[in-house]
Amino acid sequence: MTTHSTLTRLGAQLRRQRLERGLTQAELALRAGLPRLKIVQVEAGHGTVSAGAYARVAGALGLELASVPARRPTLDEMDEFLK
């Protein structure tokens, strides 16, 4: 798994969590103490964003970052992705 794909998945997960909480990017930025542009970059999975910024966003959402073993997608997940 590449760094790019890991950050892309992390950013997408953080975006989903933000949306589930009904927050705008501006509201999340305020909670995290970051500029809104940084939230945009985190959600896009930019590699130039510090790990601290990802952690601040996660914390503002009531989450923590944790490492888990990487896994390959199942055939069903790949099929869904390709639709």
Cα end-to-end span (Å), the chain: 22
pLDDT over 80 (residue 71): no
* pLDDT on residue 37: 98
Which domain range does residue 66 map to?
Answer: 3-82
pTM, to two decimals: 0.81
Q: Please name the amino acid found at residue 57.
A: V
Q: pLDDT for 13-55, tens place per residue?
A: 999 999 999 999 999 999 999 999 999 999 999 999 999 999 9
pLDDT classification of 74: cutoffs 50, 70, 90: confident
* pLDDT on residue 81: 67
Domain containing residue 10: CATH number: 1.10.260.40
**Number of separate domains in the chain:** 1
Q: Which of 11, 65, 13 is nearest to 39 (CA)?
A: 11
Please classify residue 36 by burial: count the beta carbons closer than 10 Å to its beta carbon, then call 0-12 exposed, 13-18 middle and 19+ buried. Answer: middle
